[in-house]
Amino acid sequence: MIESLKKILITGSNGLLGQKLVKYFQQHNIEFLATAKTENKLSFCPNEKFALLDIENMAQTVEVINSFNPTHIINAAAMTNVDACEDHETECFNVNARGVANILEGINGAEIHLIQISTDFIFDGKKKLYSEEDTANPLSNYGKSKWGGEEVIFESRHEQSTILRTSIVYGVGESLKKGNIFSWAINELRAGKDLNIVNDQFRTPTFVDDLVQACAKVVLLKEFGVYNIAGGELLSMHDYILKVAKYLNVNPIKVHAITSGKLNQKAKRPISSGLDTYKAKSELGYVPTDFVESLSKIDLDN
C-alpha cells in the first residue's frame, strides 16, 4: 500500500482516468484532491475532496497547488478529441502544453512528483512498435500539443517527473463527455447494429485500470522518466472489434472492415502507434490485462 504520507492532486477528475484514480486513492485511504474545469460530477467523490481547477489558468493552478501542497500531481487533464484539436488548435495547445507549463509554475522547484499522461500519437506511425527512446514526430495538433507538454517537462529539468505514454484508454465511468470505441462497440453490437471499423490503423489500447495501477506503481516506487503503458497486443482496430463481437457471441459479419480514407477524419493519424511496454514491465512490474478479460470488467461496470 502507498504510505499515508502521500497527498495526491488529480487534474481532470471528471474524465475516465481521473475518475478511476479518485476511486483508487479513496479505496486505499490515500489523501487526495480531485480537480476539474467544471463542477464535480462524481457521485462517490465528496465535495470537500474536490476543487475547481482549469490548468489553462496559471494563477488558479498555482493557487490550488500551493493551497493543497501535494506530494504528487497526476495530470490527467487533457483535450483528447483528435479531430476537435484540428478545429480548436489554440484550446488544444493551451490545455495540453501550456497547462503543463502552468503546473510546473505551481511546483516552482518544490519536491513534488509530477506524473504526466501522454500519448502514442506523438509518433508518426512509420514503425509498428515504439519504445521510450524513439524520436517523436507527431502528425496532428493533438500529437503535437501532447509532445509540447512533454518538451515543457524536459526543458524544465524538474527531476521528479514521470511521463506515461499510453494509447486509446478505455473503460466505463460516470457522466463522461464521450465514451470510447470499446464501450461504444459493446452497446452497438448488443443493439444489433452493423459497425464500420478501420482495418489499417494499428494500436495497443490501454485498459484504464492498468493505467491506474501504473500511476500507483510510479508513486509507490518513486520512478522517474518515461514509460510506455499500453495493452499487450498490436492489432488493427477492426481485429479488436472482432474480438468484442466474439466475446458478445455476435456474428462477426456485423463488423465491416473499411479503410481510413473512407472516414474523412480531419486529423492525420499514425498507421501504427503500438507501444512497447518492456521497460514498464521490467522496472514497474507492469502487467497489462488480457483484452478479453478487460471486456468482462467493462461489462460488470455497466
Domain count, the chain: 1
Does pLDDT of 198 surpass 60?
yes
Task: Report the pLDDT value the prediction gives residue 1, as an integer from 0 to 100.
Answer: 45
Give pLDDT, residue 2.
46
Q: Which residue has the cell 506523438?
A: 122
User: CB–CB of 237/201 below 8 Å?
Assistant: yes
Tell me how far apart the alpha carbons of residues 230 and 217 are, in angstroms, rounded to a whole number: 15
pLDDT digits (tens, 9 = 90+) for 252-280: 999 999 999 888 888 999 999 999 999 99
Percent of the chain with pLDDT over 70: 97
Where in the sequence is the domain holding 115, given as residue range(s)?
7-172+205-231+273-290
- 73-128 per-position pLDDT tens digit: 999 999 999 999 999 999 999 999 999 999 999 998 899 999 999 999 999 999 99
Residue 149 CA: distances (Å) to CA of 63, 99, 156, 219: 21, 8, 11, 20
Q: Is residue 192 domain-resident?
A: no
Cell (9 digits) for 156: 524544465
CA 112 remoteness from chain centre: 21
Task: Give the Cα separation of 76 and 37 in Å (integer).
Answer: 12
How large is the angle between the packed helices 291-301 and 181-190, nearest 10 degrees? 70
Whether 145 maps to a domain, the answer reads yes
- Does the pLDDT at position 302 exceed 90? no
pLDDT at 301: 57
Q: How confident is the model at residue 177 (pLDDT cuts 50, 70, 90)?
A: confident
∠ CA 262-84-22, rounded to 5° = 120
DSSP 81-141: -HHHHHH-HHHHHIIIIIHHHHHHHHHTT-S-EEEEEEEGGGS-SSSSEE-TTSPP---SH
**Which of 23-32, 178-187, 272-281 is the least confident region?**
178-187
Indicate which CATH number applies to the domain containing 84.
Answer: 3.40.50.720
Residue 272: strand, helix, or coil: strand
Cα(116)–Cα(134) distance, integer angstroms: 18
Q: State if pTM tops 0.75.
A: yes
CA 26 to chain centre: 20
Residue 263 domain flag = no
Query: Is residue 253 in some structural domain?
Result: no
Mean pLDDT of the chain: 94
Domain-embedded: residue 142: yes
Spatial distance between the Cα atoms of 302 and 24, rounded to a whole number of angstroms: 18
Does residue 42 lie in a domain region? Answer: yes
- Res. 179 pLDDT band, cuts 50 70 90: confident
Q: Is residue 58 assigned to a domain?
A: yes
Amino acid at 88: H
Given pLDDT bands bounded at 50, 70 and 90, which one contains residue 3?
Answer: low
Cβ count within 10 A of residue 132 = 16
Report DSSP letters for 31-92, one per residue: EEEEEESS----TTS-GGGEEE--TT-HHHHHHHHHHH--SEEEE------HHHHHH-HHHH
Residue 300's pLDDT is: 62
Q: Is residue 153 part of a domain?
A: yes
Does position 215 have pLDDT exceeding 60, yes or no? yes
Residue 4 pLDDT: 63
Query: Which of the pair, 175 or 56, is modelled with greater confidence?
Result: 56
